[in-house]
Amino acid sequence: MLSEWQNHKAQLRNYVYKRVDDASAVDDILQDVYIKASSNLHQLKSQGSLKGWLYKIAYNTIMDFYRNKLPYDELPEDLIAEGEDTVGEARKELAECLRPLIDDLPEKYSTPLRLAELEGVPQQEIADQLGISLSGAKSRIQRGRVKFREHLMTCCDFELNEGGAVTGYSPKKEGCSSQPK
């Protein structure tokens, strides 16, 4: 096996090198190919198919390499993660900003929308509280979202980036019955 391996080693190295984006991993992959080939030599059907068999092992080993690669970069140790308190505080602050705009909607829509979006009440509980069916509650929440969006667009100018994300906003003075605090 060793003499046959030496005959194909240079070609296999080029094959792996062209397919792996980490040049330092090429020799490790090549070593794994040799180990797999040596330990599974009994599976080789004929000596004439050795080259194709080695390339198949090399291909599978390259696929294993990419499967085992981490799909993300490690975060630095000194990075402090945002705690639940920070996220919760930001949510409360945003909710208080949006509350006046939601309260401007007709009560039929503002109450279910406020309960669902600002207070996190499940839709079935909203239906029970309002004495309406679940589908009625869902419908009012959806319509409330549409009316809220229209009202928001009337009250604020938004700056969007090329991807459509909001990068800035400014309140309009006219067209709103109440301004966020």
From 2-11, 53-62, 80-89, 144-153, the region with the lowest mean pLDDT: 80-89
pLDDT in tens, 119-171: 889 999 999 999 999 999 999 999 999 999 888 888 777 777 888 777 777 77
Last residue of a domain, one of 26, 42, 68: 68
Are 33 and 54 in contact by the 8 Å Cβ rule? The answer is yes
Torsion of CA 179, 121, 88, 157, to 10 degrees: -30
Are 47 and 15 in contact by the 8 Å Cβ rule? The answer is no
What is d(CA 82, CA 134) in angstroms, rounded to the nearest whole number? 36
Q: Count how many domains the chain has.
A: 2
pTM: 0.47
94 in a domain, yes or no?
yes
Amino acid at 62: I
Are 175 and 154 in contact by the 8 Å Cβ rule? The answer is yes
Give pLDDT, residue 15: 92
pLDDT in tens, 31-68: 999 999 888 887 777 666 788 888 999 999 999 898 88
Shared domain for 59 and 121, answered yes or no, is no
Instruction: Supply the DSSP string of 137-177, one letter for each residue.
Output: HHHHHHHHHHHHHHHHHHHEEEEE-TTS-EEEEEE-SSS-S
Which residues does residue 168 pair with via DSSP β-bridges, in sequence order?
A: 159
| CATH number assigned to the domain comprising residue 60 | 1.10.1740.10
Give pLDDT, residue 179: 42
Structural domain of 134: 84-171
Shared domain for 54 and 88, answered yes or no, is no
